[in-house]
Amino acid sequence: MMTRVFINFLTERNGVNFSEKLDNIIQKKKSLLCVGLDTVLERIPHEIRRQDNPLFAFNKAIIDATADFTAAYKVNTAFYEAYGLQGWQALKQTFDYLPQNTINIADAKRGDIGNTAKMYARALFDDLRADAITVNPLMGKDSVSPFLENPEKGVFFLCLTSNPGSADLQHFSDGKQELYERIVELVKSWNTKGNCGLVVGATHADELEHIRRAAPDLPFLIPGIGAQGGDLVNSVMNGTNANSRGALFNSSRAVIYASSDADFADAARRQAEATRNKLNEARTKKK
Amino acid sequence: MMTRVFINFLTERNGVNFSEKLDNIIQKKKSLLCVGLDTVLERIPHEIRRQDNPLFAFNKAIIDATADFTAAYKVNTAFYEAYGLQGWQALKQTFDYLPQNTINIADAKRGDIGNTAKMYARALFDDLRADAITVNPLMGKDSVSPFLENPEKGVFFLCLTSNPGSADLQHFSDGKQELYERIVELVKSWNTKGNCGLVVGATHADELEHIRRAAPDLPFLIPGIGAQGGDLVNSVMNGTNANSRGALFNSSRAVIYASSDADFADAARRQAEATRNKLNEARTKKK
């Protein structure tokens, strides 16, 4: 309790909320790249797969290889939960190993009533020590409040996702606005501590521009530039803020499975560097 | 793989999909009660809390005490994830211990793109061996399909939840229908294998009647009759199907924390029996 009060005091004094922390890291690392650690056993190279703890061994090698070029890592909890207790252990080890100078995101897409959301916040922010998480806003304000208490911890809310099924509910319209636009409006109203952001798929380049105009200051987490085939250049031009920052572009499979052979780490490093450079080039086209 | 093929073959031959399995259990157990195992360390009686594995020790005692009166157990994954690796272990042990003749629900409210949803399905259906799960439908059809492959495994989709924030998005309206009504329509279209259901909070007795009329055959999971203060009698009259079945009514805190002393298991048993009886009495009022 005292620690939390003290942290709040420091945060208020220094004014370092999540949004500013993200901006500092993007500037220091000169990168908008987020690498997604969606690790599946079947795609880990043979010599690593034979080890005792292959999920973590693979992640460690990928983190070491790519850290120079990344502003963030996004760890999708599903890929670890699928392996039961061992998977959960690898998830924890991965978070413990992630660098201090990146934004480390638990992509868990949680959302539940208040007393339950509190438990998820504890799991993701306190136990895993994630810097940011993804949250599903369908259950509304009291379901998201427990995630927003600490201004240093970020929450990216699902807004318009990268998959085909996003059309089923996210485009549901009242004639004046669609559901995803209502989500933008709500998230802006929840952002009293500077720690809210939005998840907007790179597969929707036009809507990305529209959402950026509606929320000029919110950080965006933009998945879909890799294996999902979203348009990288347009996503950067439309998704970044007025300073050509304020957005993280996630690539998972295209980076971590760049090679399935013994050279997988080198290949991931080259792919991360190339993607970081492509993102930076696209930024320069903005003006 | 062979096992899965064989199970599918048996299922098709016997026609036992999730909806029928649930109906059989409700009839055999003469109960609509679902007990929610939302176990927090701070509320476990002292003598259990001192044990090595208090979460599971508490759950075991509660399950033993209440199994005679319950049709289902709902285990909210958040409450276990909050305790990290130890919590995940207790979650697994709890599922391993749950009776065969109840519907055992992993209340995880997951939802993500297809390849990720597949991993969540593996975690919840294969690793935990849950009979049913809760899923958030915001990301649409391709995000829910991996959960619907096995007709024996049930999926309760969030439709209208019991919390105040449900108004923020679930009542968003296109003038003809609200978002939760659109969800009902979608879930009906996804129910080709008889394994879909809806989560509808008992705190919305009027809408419950309306949703039951729109979806006469879908199983409902109805939280909120205990600590959240929903109206039990109206919820049963409005939420059950034409046979006064087809719905599970969840009580978590009111049952499992009926007493905080050494008599906690007896108190939980009495509370479960009383709630089972109240639910059955309400059924008789229906006609």
pLDDT tens readout for residues B229-270: 668 999 999 999 999 999 999 999 999 999 999 999 999 999
Average pLDDT over residues A2-13: 48
pLDDT tens for residues B184-199? 999 999 999 999 999 9
Q: Does A44 score more than 80 pLDDT?
A: yes
Give dist(CA B107, CA B283) in Å, integer.
Answer: 25
Average pLDDT of chain B? 93
Structural domains of chain A, with CATH: 20-284 (3.20.20.70)
| Chain A residues closer than 8 Å to B114 by CB | 163
N- to C-terminal Cα distance for chain A?
47
| Chain A residues closer than 8 Å to B182 by CB | 169, 172
Nearest Cα to Cα of residue B142 among B105, B109, B116, B106: B116
- Please, what is the Cα angle at A165 between A162 and A168, to 5 degrees? 125
> Does any CB of chain A come closer than 8 Å to the CB of residue B95?
no
Task: Using a pLDDT cut of 90, give the percent of chain A over it.
Answer: 88
pLDDT grade for A2, boundaries at 50, 70 and 90: very low
pLDDT tens for residues A213-231? 999 999 999 998 876 666 8
Is the pTM value of this prediction over 0.80? Answer: yes
Average pLDDT over residues B215-219: 98
Residue A253 is classified by DSSP as H
pLDDT grade for A205, boundaries at 50, 70 and 90: confident
Q: Is A239 left (phi over 0), alpha (psi -120 to 50) or beta?
A: alpha
Give dist(CA B119, CA A80) in Å, integer.
Answer: 8
Average pLDDT over residues B37-64: 96
Q: Does A7 score more than 60 pLDDT?
A: no
Average pLDDT over residues A67-74: 98
Q: In the prediction, which pLDDT does A175 show?
A: 87
Residue B144 C-alpha, separation from nearest chain A C-alpha, in angstroms: 9
pLDDT tens for residues B102-120? 999 999 999 999 999 999 9
B165/A144 CB distance under 8 A: yes
A193 in catalytic set: no
> Does any CB of chain A come closer than 8 Å to the CB of residue B93?
no
Contact B51, B82 (CB under 8 A): no
Residues 245-284 in B contacting A (C-alpha not used; CB under 8 Å):
none
Q: Could you say which of A60, A92, A109, A118 is catalytic? A: A109
Average pLDDT over residues A195-224: 94
pLDDT tens for residues A164-173? 999 999 999 9
> Does any CB of chain B come closer than 8 Å to the CB of residue A286?
no
User: ipTM of the assembly?
Assistant: 0.93
> Does any CB of chain B come closer than 8 Å to the CB of residue A42?
no
Average pLDDT over residues B21-45: 97
Q: In the prediction, which pLDDT does A12 show?
A: 47
* Closest chain A residue to B90, measured at CA: A85
pLDDT tens for residues B64-112? 999 999 999 999 999 999 999 999 999 999 999 999 999 999 999 999 9
